[in-house]
Amino acid sequence: MASRPFPRPEKKVHATPFSGIKITRNRQSIHTDALWQLFNRHGLSHIVDWHSLEGGDVLQVCLKMDWLVRWLPDKDTARIQVSPEYRQSPPALRPLTEILICMLANPFPAEFTSLDELNIHLEMRAEIAQAAAKTEMNFHTEAVHRPTQFWSYDEDKGFTLKAGKDLVEALEFTTQPALSGDRFSFSCYRATEYVILLGISKVLRQRRPRQYTELLQQWNIEPLQSSRFHEHFLVESGSLDNPFPMRFYTPGDRVWFKNPDLPSSDVAGYEGSWVIYLGQGKFTNFWDKQKPFSLMTKCVEVYHWRDGLSSNATGMATIDETLVAQEVAKTLQNQDRLALIADNMMRYRDPAGVYAQGGCIDASREAPICFACN
C-alpha cells in the first residue's frame, strides 16, 4: 500500500472535564472574531461560552449551561430539531447548525488547529449524512457486485478504482440508485466505509485538491478497508468505562448497534448493525432509504432478529427478514410490548464476546478525523 497520505493530529479518545470544541492557537493563529462570525451566522452566538485554556494557547467553546439544561436535559440530540435556534436557522444552513450544536454539547471535545480545519470537519460531517440519506443497497456479506465501468476486482485487494475515473463519481454511482438505476451488494460495514469515503472525498476535491489526488491514487492502487480504513480516516471517542450518553448522536457519526442475542448473532451479518446518524433523530436504512430508523425502531429491529432465526435448504443458520418485519410491525402496534423491548435493548452493550444483561447501545461514536491544513 502507499504510505499514509494524510498528516493529522494524534487521535484523542479520552474525555476531559471540558466539552465542546477546542482550537489550539499555538500552531496556527485563530481569530476569535472569525469564529464568532461562524456561530453568529448560524444564530448560535448567544448560547456559546468561551474559555481560554493552557495559558491562552487553547480556545474552548461550548454551550452555555442553561441552554444545555433547557434543550438537552437527557442528552438527547434528537431534541435539537425542536429548539428555536435550529428552527430559526436558514434552511440551507440547518444541517451544519445541527452539527455545530451537537459538537458544542459533545462531552468528548473535538480538537482543531485552525478555523479552516473546523469548517472542513463540519462540511465532511454534513456531506457524509447527505450521502448516507441517498444510499440504498442490497444486503449481502459475501457478494462481489460493483459497477464495472468504475471498479476492478482483485481477490486480495478488493475493488480498486479504474485509472482515469473520478473517485467521487464512482462512489456516488455505486451507492445511489438514483444515478445508477441499480442496487449493488454490500455488508452494512462496507456500506458505511463507502459513504464516509464519499463525504470526505467531496470536501477534499473542493477544498484540498492535492489531498484528494492522493486519496484517488490510493484507491487506484489498493483500497483501505476495515481496520486500515478506521485507522486512516476515523477517530473513536467513548468507551464502556466512559460512555457517550445513550441518546447523544451527531450527524455524520458512524454507530454500532450490537445484537445481544447470542444464537442469532452467530449468523453472518447479524452480529450487529453499522449505521450512519443522519440527524433529526434518524439513522440510515441502507436497504430501504425511504424508511430511515429512529433510535427506537433500530433497537426493535435488532431485537427481533432472534425471531427470524431459521435454517436454509442446506441446513445453514439464516435470518428470515420477512418474519423479522412481521414481529417488528406487531411490536410497534403494542405499547406494552414496545416498552418491554425498549427496556431490554436501551442499555449499553456488553463487552465483545459477552452476552449477559447488556442491550444494543454502543458506548462510542466514530467520526471523520480532523484533516490538517497543509
Residues whose CB is less than 8 angstroms from the CB of residue 230 and which lie 6 or more positions away in sequence, other chains included: 236, 366
* Model confidence at 5: pLDDT above 70: no
Q: 214: which 3 cell numbers? A: 492522493
Whole-structure pTM value:
0.93
Kindly state the greatest CA–CA separation across the chain.
69
* Model confidence at 200: pLDDT above 90: yes
Strand partners, 152: 160
Which among 132, 42, 16, 78 has a CA at the least distance from the CA of 368? 132
- Cβ-contact 332, 244 below 8 angstroms: no
Residue 141 inside a domain? The answer is: no
Number of domains into which the chain is organized: 1
Per-residue confidence (pLDDT) for residue 314, from 0 to 100: 80
Residue 328 inside a domain? The answer is: yes
Residue 227 inside a domain? The answer is: no
Residue 85 inside a domain? The answer is: yes
Q: What is the pLDDT of residues 226-262, one digit of tens each?
A: 999 999 999 999 999 999 999 999 999 999 999 999 9
Range of the domain at 117: 1-122+234-374
Per-residue confidence (pLDDT) for residue 271, from 0 to 100: 96
Q: What is the pLDDT of residues 71-97, one digit of tens each?
A: 888 899 999 998 888 898 889 999 999
Sequence letter at residue 319: I
Residue 194 inside a domain? The answer is: no
* Model confidence at 108: pLDDT above 60: yes
Residues whose CB is less than 8 angstroms from the CB of residue 194 and which lie 6 or more positions away in sequence, other chains included: 135, 171, 174, 175, 186
Query: If residue 154 lies in a helix (H) or strand (E), which one and from where to where?
Result: strand 151-154
- Sign of CA pseudo-dihedral 374, 364, 61, 80: positive
pLDDT band at 188 (very low <50, low <70, confident <90, very high): very high
Residues whose CB is less than 8 angstroms from the CB of residue 234 and which lie 6 or more positions away in sequence, other chains included: 196, 254, 366, 367, 368, 369
Residue 367 inside a domain? The answer is: yes
- Cβ-contact 292, 278 below 8 angstroms: yes
Residue 136 inside a domain? The answer is: no
pLDDT band at 17 (very low <50, low <70, confident <90, very high): very low
Residue 65 inside a domain? The answer is: yes
* Model confidence at 27: pLDDT above 70: no
